[in-house]
Structure 1
């Protein structure tokens, strides 16, 4: 019996944007299951509560072959724990590629069975970043058009 193709999509997702949703929706056809991992980055303080973000993401993908977890530790190790042989990453631009390429090399060194799959962000979503959305929200600008869910606060 062939093992399922599982992709691990890691990130801080603070917040999870329409750009992130786009990557997952496009990847659903490539994999049997996608595990979205909300990572704890010790260099970042979360703006949106992790538990709330996890609930928003679960709501977004209800009925789809997507599982949401939160995790601490090395992404390559967590990918192995969840049975993923693929890391899924979205690229908006060449800056993202330079950063993600380095990380993918280290992940492969830690877990030699791990392949990183890069999907190019759809052009109309490329300008969206979690950092920009946090700043807009912090200063009172509406952000609903950038999110695949409605904030409850």
Structure 2
């Protein structure tokens, strides 16, 4: 039986921290479904198609599947018959939030477990929100996002000026 995990997130944009979690997750799991959360209450910088393309460009590995979902993560996991959620942790504040989410998910469906993976030290301070903020002011995000994402950030904010 294949070991499959769902790695959910907005990935707006994909960061090197995300990439690291996926790469390291593939050492543990046979397949990772990178599930892009579609949240109608948030206005993302990049479209779902653009975010899918970021991930597809970074991972030519057939063990990485890209999908989208809305609604409850546990419902999505059940629909995919997956019982493991993979999450990355950066700081103590992440842990508190993620612990709450993992416990709620378990309350909603006790057949689903969450596996936490610590972010690499080099990516500890990086979040998609911070990347967007820095890029919006023309700051350099080299080394915190893949090169193709960096280029798209430059283009996106050049269009907004």
For the superposition of Structure 1 and Structure 2, which TM-score range results when normalised by the shorter chain? over 0.9
Residue matched to 2:13: 15
Uncovered stretches (5+) of structure 2, i.e. residues with no partner: 156-161
Query: TM-score scaled by structure 2?
Result: 0.88
Cα RMSD for the two superposed structures: 1.3
Helix, strand or coil at the partner of 2:27: coil
In the TM superposition, what is the alpha-carbon distance from 1:64 to its structure 2 partner?
4.4
Tell me which residue corresponds to 2:60: 62
Residue in 2 aligned with 1:27?
Answer: 25
Aligned residue pairs total 151
Q: Higher helix proportion, which one?
A: 2
Distance 1:52 1:29 in 2: 27
After TM superposition, give the deviation of residue 65 of structure 1 in Å: 0.8
What does residue 50 of structure 2 align with? 52
Structure 1, unaligned runs of 5 or more: none
SS state at 1:134 partner: helix
Compute the displacement of 1:63 (Å): 2.3
TM-score by length of 1: 0.93
Question: Once the two structures are superposed, what CA deviation does each residue of 1:79-101 show, in whole Å capped at 9, x if it has no partner?
Answer: 12122110000000110000000
Q: What is the distance in 2 between the residues matched to 1:127 and 1:55? A: 24
Aligned partners of 1:55 and 1:128: how far apart in 2? 21
